[in-house]
């Protein structure tokens, strides 16, 4: 079955350490996204990528980094520069049709809950 796999489900780190969250999809989707979810807030976009070897900053990119070396993989690194890293992180993907018709349903992973102490 096709889908998006995020791992691990729960992650604990000490303050000052970098941590990488995994996101893999076998849907052959071109676009991939990383969102952060905090209690009482809507999802916020961290980074997105529409094609391999290219990515753009979202609304809250500071303290995060990504790579897109393969179509199916879009790992997110939470660096020590991120001031409030404890959150629920969701990865999503979407097929690409054309510049004018990018609208199609998103597919989400099950998320990674990161706790930094």
Partner 1 sequence: KNEVEQSPQNLTAQEGEFITINCSYSVGISALHWLQQHPGGGIVSLFMLSSGKKKHGRLIATINIQEKHSSLHITASHPRDSAVYICAVSTGANSKLTFGKGITLSVRP
The interface mask with partner 1, positions 52-81, x = CB under 8 A, is ------x-----------------------
Residues in contact with partner 1, counted by CB under 8 A, come to a total of 27
Q: Judged by CB under 8 A, which of 48, 55, 64, 74 binds partner 1?
A: 48
- DSSP string of 63-76, one letter each residue: TEEE--SBTTB--E
**Cβ(89)–Cβ(111) below 8 Å:** yes
**Pairing label, strands 107-108, 54-57:** unpaired
Residue 82 Cβ vs partner 1, minimum distance, rounded to whole Å: 20
């Amino acid at each position: 079955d096709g889908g998006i796999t995020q791992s691990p489900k729960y992650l604990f780190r000490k303050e000052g350490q970098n941590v990488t969250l995994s996101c893999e999809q076998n849907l052959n989707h071109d676009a991939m996204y990383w969102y952060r979810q905090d209690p009482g807030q809507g999802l916020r976009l961290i980074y997105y990528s529409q094609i391999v070897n290219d990515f753009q900053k979202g609304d809250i990119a500071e303290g995060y980094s990504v790579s897109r070396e393969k179509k199916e993989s879009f790992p997110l690194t939470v660096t020590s520069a991120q001031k409030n890293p404890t959150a629920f992180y969701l990865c999503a993907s979407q097929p690409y049709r054309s510049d004018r018709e990018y609208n199609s349903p998103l597919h989400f992973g099950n998320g990674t809950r990161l706790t930094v102490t």
